[in-house]
Each structure stands twice: as C-alpha cells, then as structure tokens.
Amino acid sequence: MEDQTEIFFTECMTIETLIENFELLGDWEDRYAYVMELGQTLAPMPDADKIEENRVTGCQATVWLKAEIDDQMPPCLTFHADSNSQIVKGLVYILHLMFSGKTLPEIASYDEQQVFGRLGLDRHLSPTRSTGLNAMVRQIKAQAVASAG
C-alpha cells in the first residue's frame, strides 16, 4: 500500500473519497492498516484539552474529544480529538470527515450507521471498538445539541 499513498491521502478528502479508497483496497487487513495511517495524519490535540471534561466514556482506549462551534451562519461544528490507540485515531479521522464543518441540524440527522456499513466498520471492528466508535458519535451529537441550545 505504501506505493499508493498519494492516491489515498489528499488535502480534499471527503467521506465519499474515503469510501472509494476503501473499495480499492483488497481486504480488511489493508483497510485496517489504512485506517491506522489516517490516524497518523491527525493534527495533535493540545495537552490543555486532554481533560476529563473532554474524555469520551464508553471507549476501551483513552479518547478526548472537544467540539467547537464556529461563528458562520449557520453555525458549523468542528472538533479536535486524540487517543492513545492508533486505530482509534484513524476512527477519529473518519468521524472528522463525517461531522466537522457540518451544521448542527446536519449533525443531528447524520446517518453514521449507513456510512459505517459502507466502510465495513459494522462488520469488521471488534465489539469493544464498535462500542467506542458509537460512544464518540454520541458525544459529538450531544455536544452539537448542547451548543445549539
């Protein structure tokens, strides 16, 4: 996969591009490695944001997630996250593609399970990773709702 890196990593990555990239990869082991590589591209989260308030409960790994609402009209959410697990960092990258830059109503109505199915995450992640992934989604959606009110 290393010789295809330029195909898989672009500045303009979208969730649809990611799904297309997954389809190009042969098996789940290649996809798993790709997810971990995606995690390596995340910008580091400041240590000051790695506090209990930003910690995601329900994850086996340690995960911090901080959402912020910008001042656009309509307001959009962006978030920063980090984990002590490389695969979880890759899952955070995927969630970033799904939710960052979306309006609060878009986040509330987003069908993440459909995307997880298209990526095969619903079939190939361990139960504990799936639980953690869904916990991260719940926290993103909860922070969006809290920010809207």
Q: Which two tokens stand for residue 45?
A: 């989260």
Q: Which of 35, 45, 59, 97 is catalytic?
A: 59
Contacts of residue 123, defined as CB under 8 A and 6 or more positions apart, other chains included, come to: none
Residue carrying the six token digits 């995927």? 94
Q: Do 69 and 77 meet the contact criterion of CB atoms below 8 Å apart?
A: yes
59 is catalytic: yes
- Residues carrying an active site annotation: 59
